[in-house]
Chains A and B, each alone.
Chain A
């Protein structure tokens, strides 16, 4: 089996065209088309069940699409040894053999990844305080994430795919992850695709975002462009409604007499000035707000005002909860 990573192609590192994957007839991924430029750090965002893990499995060649094509560094990854050597997927529920300890992972890593960096692996062990004594299967959630980061970064795979890499990490460890990831891609350029729910924390290390919802790609943008995709207007409900009449709201949220709207596109300067003059807050939507608004979809409750539930010590028997 060849362990030589596929050569740089000059084209995109990842090329997906019309990819669809169904499980028991239901599409987990529905006609998805995008490129990931070589040496970019791409965030894969969306709610649980949006199709993120399915897409990452396709990129890693662990699975193949029912329709459409997936190319990684110019090759179809499924059952392709050369492409398999070029990419690495660390799953959020990554499994290790039952008797594995940290030392086993450190010993096995270089066998599968020719560019393995032992010094970096040692640095990750120290920074994340990965313990050497317990079996890996007994690791806490955060320790498993740290081990995933070790595999993901030390392997120096041309395409590194990380599923929820910061899950369960404390704030200090998340800081280490951000710093190491940025340093690594800067000094040893490679393409990284990572999924996360901690959008606000991870946003800064990304240069591109893909947002999935119900298996469909609903946003494919540079992080700076994503800022122009939506803006937020917040204030007393009536004032917000009159200031934004005729604009398309992606999502809305009412708390008491206040209304917060996430509106499509950047705020028009005149509208923003008028709204601010009326005492409303106007600002670009954060990435997390945009993801939430795009993922609001039809599964969310309608944005009509509802009376706040009155807490009751003695619910009526049989009352719906």
Chain B
């Protein structure tokens, strides 16, 4: 589930953020502790801590002294807005590049998307 493309602490941050976007970790709810995440993924706790610190810096999580890490108010919306803004570079550009390298043009790509839509894809 964790791959070697990006640094591990980024992957940990990404994964917790995914949970916030998906609603697995609701706003105000506690996220798993550093120890739990470290043991679960068999990753150095300092690396996990670095990943969670990224999310604290982005105000997705906040610390409550002695209690742990909690999802901040409005975190989901902020993440969703940012991911929408990133959608073009993260997904659309690679899609278009791959399509072009296969000799397809933008009309073909549109057609594929319409086709998915008519098949009732999620």
List residues of chain A with CB under 8 Å of any chain B CB.
40-41, 175, 178-179, 182-183, 185-187, 204-207, 223-224, 227, 283, 286
Contact = CB atoms under 8 A, between A and B. Distances in A.
Given A224-B7, A224-B9, A286-B4, A182 B46 contact: no
Nearest to A175: B42
Contact of A207 (B5, B41, B47): B47
Interface in B45-69: 45-47, 50
B44 A182 contact: yes
Given A40-B46, A178-B42, A187 B35 contact: yes
Given A224-B7, A224-B9, A227-B7, A206 B35 contact: no
Given A186-B34, A204-B2, 6 more contacts: A41-B46, A182-B45, A186-B35, A204-B8, A207-B46, A207-B47
Contacts, number: 49
> What are the 4 A-B residue pairs with the smallest beta carbon separation, nearest first?
A178-B42, A186-B35, A186-B45, A183-B39
Contact of A206 (B4, B9, B44): B44
Contact of A182 (B2, B38, B50): B38
Contact of B39 (A182, A283, A286): A182
A182 B7 contact: no
Contacts of B39: 179, 182-183, 186
A318 to B, nearest CB: 48
Interface centre among B7, B9, B44, B47 (most CB of A within 10 A): B44
Interface of B: 2, 4-5, 7-9, 34-35, 38-39, 41-47, 50
Nearest to A176: B42
B7 A179 contact: no
A175 B42 CA distance: 8
A224 B12 CA distance: 13
A205 B42 contact: yes
Contacts of A187: 35
Contacts of B9: 224
B47 A223 contact: yes
16 contacts: A41-B46, A175-B42, A182-B43, A185-B44, A186-B38, A187-B35, A204-B8, A204-B43, A204-B47, A205-B43, A207-B46, A223-B47, A224-B7, A224-B8, A224-B9, A224-B47
A103 B106 CA distance: 71
Contacts of B2: 204
Contacts of B38: 182-183, 186
Interface centre among B8, B41, B46 (most CB of A within 10 A): B46
Contacts of B4: 286
Contacts of A40: 46
B103 to A, nearest CB: 15
Contacts of A207: 44, 46-47
Nearest to A174: B42
B98 to A, nearest CB: 12
A224 B38 CA distance: 16
Nearest to B46: A207
B35 A204 contact: no
A17 to B, nearest CB: 25
A266 B35 CA distance: 31
B41 A204 contact: yes
Contacts of A41: 44, 46
A186 B50 CA distance: 14
Contacts of B8: 204, 223-224
Contacts of A206: 44
